[in-house]
Amino acid sequence: MRVHAKRAVALAAGLLLPVTVMAEWTMNMTPGVTSTSNQIYTLHMTILWICVAIGVVVFGVMFWSIFAHRKSRGYKPANFHENTVVEVLWTIVPLAILVAMAIPATATLVEMYDTTESDVDIKITGYQWRWQYEYIDDDFSFFSNMSTPREQIRNRQAKGEHYLLEVDNPVVIPVGKKVRFLLTANDVIHSWWVPEFGVKKDAIPGFINETWTRVDVPGTYRGQCTELCGKDHGYMPVVVKAVPEEEYNVWVAEQREAAETERQLTEKDWTLDELMERGERAYATACAGCHQADGTGLPPTFPALKGSQMALEDMAGHIEIVVNGSPGTSMQAFGNQLSEVDLAAVITYERNAWGNNTGEMVTPKEIFDYKNQQ
């Protein structure tokens, strides 16, 4: 048994090692797992080889001259400096090559733009610095935050295999179905990219962009935000899990149920400790990026909450700024990003953590009423 196990380990290592080594030296685009990404890959390789061929000819002539037509070899210069036939020829030939290249590119583009007849619609909203996925037909939504611990980024902990490319809640899609993505953003422009799908589209505040994919191979696919969106632009990965349809349906049912439970939590009677505990978690994902885990912020852009007048005294102002944000600044409106429970928990936490011991508490019901008054 032991020998077998050892062999199995050795074999696995032997199989895996080249893969990991290869991955670190990846030099080319991935063919990906969708028909779009495959077509893009083919276009990419075609144009690459055309460039290489032109390069070989042009640089070939040049290197021949560099080698053979040297003054140091006593080569006497010719004196020709014009030839209309040649000029016309090297205008027409590249033009023909480009036309030949434009035809398949156009066909692919037309297909990429066909977002009709989708089976699943998912609305993706970019926030500084996380993604929200909303399953429009199924009435639930969630946020997807990077889950790589700060300790790994600060080099205090060994970096994991999917360093910076892992999230708490991946977006789940069924394989073999046409999934349409509707993209928008809440603050600045973001861009949603999964290389293996050949899908990249900007998420623009105030506008909705469309794109689609159909993945045939189940698996986990990783990408990143590709439009500079501020401080943590490098820390908002995209993770997509493509699963078989049955599994997808089970997952959707679970999500719907969880969303329902969450809505009921608003009705519950909360204690200060419960809210503090929940608030600490919500604060870590939603607020700590700017205001820092210890509440000291990064002034002047991100003010400190620890000892701030608003967190200590002005409760109405505190609720308002968290729910509605502060226009013209980086402070977002969290009213639609967080549930009533989380809003109440975060505000309660901010009023009681880091020595802000006000002892005051805001309940989910109060938040619910506040939002309804507006």
Binders of other proteins in range 9-68 (CB under 8 A): 23-30, 36-37, 39-40, 43-44, 47-48, 51, 54-55, 58-59, 61-62, 64-66
Among 126, 170, 174, 198, the residue binding other proteins under the rule CB under 8 A is 198
Q: How far is the CB of 111 from other proteins (least distance, A)?
A: 9
**CA 210/CA 189 separation, integer angstroms:** 15
3-state DSSP assignment of residue 361: coil
> Hey, which residues between 125 and 144 contact other proteins (CB under 8 A)?
128
Q: In the structure encoding, which two tokens stand for residue 322, read together? A: 């968290």
Strands ordered across the beta sheet of 120-127:
140-144, 130-135, 120-127, 179-185, 209-213
Q: How far is the CB of 291 from other proteins (least distance, A)?
A: 14
Q: How far is the CB of 71 from other proteins (least distance, A)?
A: 4
3-state DSSP assignment of residue 75: coil
What value does the CA radius of gyration of the chain take, rounded to a whole number of Å?
28
Residue pair 307/355 in contact (Cβ under 8 Å)? The answer is yes
**Shorter beta-carbon distance to other proteins: residue 17 or 62:** 62
Among 145, 191, 337, 356, the residue binding other proteins under the rule CB under 8 A is 191
**Shorter beta-carbon distance to other proteins: residue 77 or 355:** 77
Q: Which x/- pattern, by CB under 8 A, does the window 168-187 give for other proteins?
A: -------------------x
Among 6, 9, 16, 205, the residue binding other proteins under the rule CB under 8 A is 205
**CA 182/CA 134 separation, integer angstroms:** 9
Place of tokens 């014009």: 82
Sign of the C-alpha dihedral computed for residues 9, 13, 14 and 16 taken in this order: positive
H helical segments located in 113-206: 150-153
The answer to the question of residue 124 lying near other proteins (CB under 8 A) is no
Residue pair 304/297 in contact (Cβ under 8 Å)? The answer is yes
3-state DSSP assignment of residue 141: strand
Place of tokens 């080249």: 18
**CA 61/CA 63 separation, integer angstroms:** 6
**CA 349/CA 369 separation, integer angstroms:** 20
> Hey, which residues between 292 and 331 contact other proteins (CB under 8 A)?
298, 300-301, 328, 330
**Shorter beta-carbon distance to other proteins: residue 15 or 68:** 68
Among 189, 284, 304, 310, the residue binding other proteins under the rule CB under 8 A is 189
The answer to the question of residue 335 lying near other proteins (CB under 8 A) is no
> Hey, which residues between 80 and 119 contact other proteins (CB under 8 A)?
80-83, 86-87, 90-91, 94-95, 98, 101-102, 105-106, 108-110, 112-113
Among 14, 72, 137, 316, the residue binding other proteins under the rule CB under 8 A is 72
Among 78, 85, 137, 309, the residue binding other proteins under the rule CB under 8 A is 78
> Hey, which residues between 230 and 269 contact other proteins (CB under 8 A)?
230-235
Of 228, 225, 229, 195, the closest CA to residue 213 belongs to 195
Contacts of 94 (CB under 8 A, 6+ apart): 54
